[in-house]
Chains A and B, each alone.
Chain A
């Protein structure tokens, strides 16, 4: 296993277009997280899944954003009608379980630029 994989690494899109990102977590990890990071800031939580169930969504996740993890493996994050303010690095992470002290392993991120 090579770790958490995110595709694409970079995406440039025109305002108003829809985009979809994919995350493949470490295979035995049942938790998967999405974060957004803007320049100079730490990552901000968007949502997470326990297997295929989406357990929490941040207020940052407007109705233009939707995330799925249909079979409890890979996940997709879709942004509809993109806005310039959506430009950011979108990070995915996975972790093995729910016990305290569990660690999150991050992918390399997808950098979105909305022009």
Chain B
């Protein structure tokens, strides 16, 4: 069974600050997705990373997949209040189910 850890569990920052959240697995996985979830809503897909060392950018968000494909990071530049939410990393368990990490709850204060 693959386990996912995310850190930090909670993060509260001021608008305009930068932040990085992390996702780590106990073993190699084939691909990883990052989702953002707002209260009372379902998770919304942000990005999928597949190749070790891959970096993807989505406006102010930068996603990195570790070379060994066991970890990933999400960096947000100049955070905005609209970035507030639960950030979930999810691994595709080799075509079986999707395994979620516990999430990082981000609060961006005005």
Please state if B100 and A44 are interface contacts (CB–CB under 8 Å).
yes
CB under 8 Å from chain B, chain A span 38-62: 40-45, 48, 56
**Is A102 on the interface with B (CB-CB < 8 A)?**
yes
Q: Can you add 10 more A-B contacts, CB < 8 Å, to A93-B42, A107-B42?
A: A4-B42, A33-B97, A43-B100, A45-B97, A48-B96, A56-B96, A89-B40, A102-B31, A102-B92, A104-B90
Q: Known contacts being A43-B43, A104-B45, is A56 close to B92, with CB within 8 Å?
A: no
CB under 8 Å from chain B, chain A span 65-95: 89, 91, 93, 95
Interface string of B78-109 (1 = CB under 8 A from A): 00000000101010101111111111010000
Report Cα–Cα, A100/B69, bound state, in Å: 13
**Count: A-B pairs, CB below 8 Å:** 68
CB under 8 Å from chain A, chain B span 2-54: 30-31, 33, 35, 40-45, 48, 50
- Contact residues in A for B86 (Cβ distance below 8 Å): 42
Please state if A41 and B31 are interface contacts (CB–CB under 8 Å).
no
Report Cα–Cα, A41/B105, bound state, in Å: 10
- Contact residues in A for B44 (Cβ distance below 8 Å): 106
Please state if A100 and B50 are interface contacts (CB–CB under 8 Å).
yes
Q: Can you list 19 A-B contacts with CB-CB less than 8 angstroms, sorted by A residue number?
A: A33-B97, A42-B86, A43-B43, A44-B100, A45-B99, A48-B96, A48-B97, A89-B40, A95-B98, A101-B48, A101-B92, A102-B92, A102-B95, A103-B33, A104-B90, A104-B98, A108-B41, A109-B41, A109-B42
**Is A22 on the interface with B (CB-CB < 8 A)?**
no
Instruction: Count contacts on A: residues with CB < 8 A to the other chain.
Output: 29
Residues of A within 8 A of B (CB): 4, 6, 33, 35, 40-45, 48, 56, 89, 91, 93, 95, 98-109, 111
- Contact residues in B for A104 (Cβ distance below 8 Å): 33, 45, 90, 98
- Contact residues in A for B50 (Cβ distance below 8 Å): 100-101
Q: How far is the CB of A83 from chain B (nearest CB, A)?
A: 22
- Contact residues in B for A99 (Cβ distance below 8 Å): 95
Report Cα–Cα, A3/B61, bound state, in Å: 24
